Amino acid sequence: MSGADSMRAWRVALAGMVSLGVAMGVGRFAFTPLLPVMLQERVIDLPAASWLASINYLAYMVGALLCTLQPWVWARFRQLPSVAYSTAVRAGLVATSLLTLAMAMPVPAAWPGLRFCAGVASAVVFVFTSGWCLSRLAQLGAPALGGVIFAGPGLGIVISGLVGGGMVARNWTAASGWLIFGLLAVVLTASVWHILQGSEERLVAMRGQGTVSRSGAAPHSGQAVAPVPARQTAAGADREIGFLALAYGLAGFGYIITATFLPVIAREALPGSAWLDLFWPIFGSGVVIGALLATRVASAGDRRYLLAGAYLIQAAGIGASLWRPTLAGFAIGSLVLGVPFTAITFFAMQEVRRLRGGAAASFIGLLTATYGVGQIIGPALVAFLLARSATPGSGFTLSLQIAAGALACGAALYLWMIRSFPIGPGTKGTRTASGRFA
């Protein structure tokens, strides 16, 4: 890879990182550090907060489904314009910024609608940022930089957590927090606006069994997809995609309870501690570390082993805070839970590209939708258990135990898939033109 291509690849990767940082770290997870402030101001109670979180995650699933169905919609309504993935990403970032700013309005009745729209926007940004950036990096011969993209949510979580903790310490209002996060989203979006433009990947129409562009040409992915072994053809590949989606959904359920309620859970276990607002940034730091480590992992092997291991690591992170509800237990648990967070996404998206190649974007949407289902169930389960528990602490404990069990089940499912859907020689990854695996 030439020096110019290397520079372009890093610009694409960093733009993707910032894009996901805005959509996920700010647009979605700014709610987590602001939740204690909203509870303290009594503008919302804990059950209502659980349902507000579930609404956002429901919308995330809806947005992912819309991305999945996009080729069929474009095929049915031929008058729809051909739109580049990068254009869809920019539209989603603008929407995320405006919706975050709007949460500062003292109109609680509007919050469910705003959080719903923010969830749809975050899914659109995630799916098309993943599709556009991974394709561009493959074209530039730098697929391993994909892990940098998925460091974005963690970086956003660290920033939102530190800013949120500072606002709590200074007794700022939740409305001020939403305004600050909205302005931060605007600035970050502006910083990558000029990079997120121009692409051969476009919103396309589906004809028959293939995905084609408006001109009838197959969208260029920049990669030659390795042949699928005989046991992976047709129905076998479809079945594996289905099980991959199910396992990915378990990951969404397994992490979301901690990701939504970590500051509140910590306050229940360690009332009055000066370190309470650092657990969320520690989680975000783990996300960044894990995403960057994922780029160093050789991808020529079976990634399903990596996915199974990542699920077990997250389960251990939840277990650390359950077995040792102390300052050290929460700190270690937050870090360990965060490390595999976007690494799971990175490896799962690579699996989709292995199985579906140039049609990966729609199936990325499918996996994102099942992930969204898991995220919807998590906060709803917390609300259900809190209403039936003697104390909030016991309700949270049971919720976390169930979440850890779901992650263990997901790891077992990947191990079963390895035996049931073996990968043939030469197909353990998607080989790029340069001979590297993506």
Question: DSSP letter string over 152-216?
Answer: HHHHHHHHHHHHHHHHHHTT--HHHHHHHHHHHHHHHHHHHTTTS---S-B--EEETTEEE-TTS
Any residues with CB less than 8 A from the CB of 190 and at least 6 apart, and which?
Answer: none
Overall average pLDDT of the 103-110 stretch: 93
Given a contact cutoff of 8 angstroms between Cβ atoms, the answer to whether 155 and 242 are in contact is no
Structure confidence at residue 85 (pLDDT): 82
CB atoms within 10 A of CB 76: 11
Q: Measured at the alpha carbon of residue 98, what is the angle toward residues 188 and 377, in degrees to the nearest 5?
A: 95
Distance of CA 48 to the CA centre of its chain: 24
C-alpha gyration radius of the chain: 21
**Stronger pLDDT, 79 or 16, i.e. the higher one:** 16
**Stronger pLDDT, 234 or 371, i.e. the higher one:** 371
**In-domain check, residue 433:** no
Per the structure, the count of domains in the chain is 1
Question: DSSP letter string over 211-230?
Answer: EE-TTSPPPP-SSPPPPPPG
**In-domain check, residue 425:** no
Structure confidence at residue 141 (pLDDT): 85
CA neighbor of 436 nearest in space, from 222, 218, 243: 222
SS3 84: strand
| pLDDT above 80: residue 257 | yes
Any residues with CB less than 8 A from the CB of 436 and at least 6 apart, and which?
Answer: 141, 143, 144
User: What would the pLDDT profile of 258-275 be if each residue is shown by its tens digit?
Assistant: 888 888 888 888 887 778
**Any idea of the CA torsion for 58, 59, 60, 62, to the nearest 10 degrees?**
90
| pLDDT above 70: residue 289 | yes
Least confident of 38-47, 134-143, 177-186, 325-334: 134-143
| pLDDT above 80: residue 308 | yes
User: What would the pLDDT profile of 63-94 be if each residue is shown by its tens digit?
Assistant: 888 887 877 887 888 777 777 788 889 999 99
**In-domain check, residue 427:** no
**In-domain check, residue 436:** no
**In-domain check, residue 193:** yes
**In-domain check, residue 438:** no
Banded model confidence at residue 358, pLDDT cuts 50, 70, 90: low
**In-domain check, residue 437:** no
Given a contact cutoff of 8 angstroms between Cβ atoms, the answer to whether 380 and 372 are in contact is no
Given a contact cutoff of 8 angstroms between Cβ atoms, the answer to whether 48 and 177 are in contact is no
CA neighbor of 153 nearest in space, from 3, 6, 284: 284
The Cα-based distances of 161 to 138, 179, 340 in angstroms read 33, 15, 19
Q: How far apart are CA 324 and CA 234, in angstroms?
A: 48
| pLDDT above 70: residue 226 | no
Overall average pLDDT of the 114-128 stretch: 93
Given a contact cutoff of 8 angstroms between Cβ atoms, the answer to whether 336 and 313 are in contact is yes
Structure confidence at residue 209 (pLDDT): 39
Question: DSSP letter string over 137-159?
Answer: HHHTT-GGGHHHHTTHHHHHHHH
Given a contact cutoff of 8 angstroms between Cβ atoms, the answer to whether 374 and 53 are in contact is no
Overall average pLDDT of the 351-380 stretch: 79
| pLDDT above 80: residue 340 | yes
Least confident of 188-192, 268-272, 286-290: 268-272
| pLDDT above 50: residue 224 | no
- For the chain, give the mean pLDDT: 82
Q: How far apart are CA 238 and CA 305, in angstroms?
A: 20
Q: Which two tokens stand for residue 87?
A: 């254009």
CATH number, position 127? 1.20.1250.20
Range of the domain at 133: 3-420
Overall average pLDDT of the 333-348 stretch: 89
**Any idea of the CA torsion for 423, 424, 426, 429, to the nearest 10 degrees?**
-10
Q: Which two tokens stand for residue 36?
A: 């204690």
| pLDDT above 50: residue 220 | no
Q: How far apart are CA 276 and CA 295, in angstroms?
A: 31
Banded model confidence at residue 300, pLDDT cuts 50, 70, 90: low
**In-domain check, residue 434:** no
Overall average pLDDT of the 161-183 stretch: 88
CA neighbor of 310 nearest in space, from 250, 370, 357, 366: 250
CA neighbor of 252 nearest in space, from 200, 209, 314: 314
Q: How far apart are CA 431 and CA 61, in angstroms?
A: 31
Overall average pLDDT of the 345-370 stretch: 77
Structure confidence at residue 214 (pLDDT): 36
CA neighbor of 376 nearest in space, from 5, 60, 104, 153: 60
Overall average pLDDT of the 208-223 stretch: 35
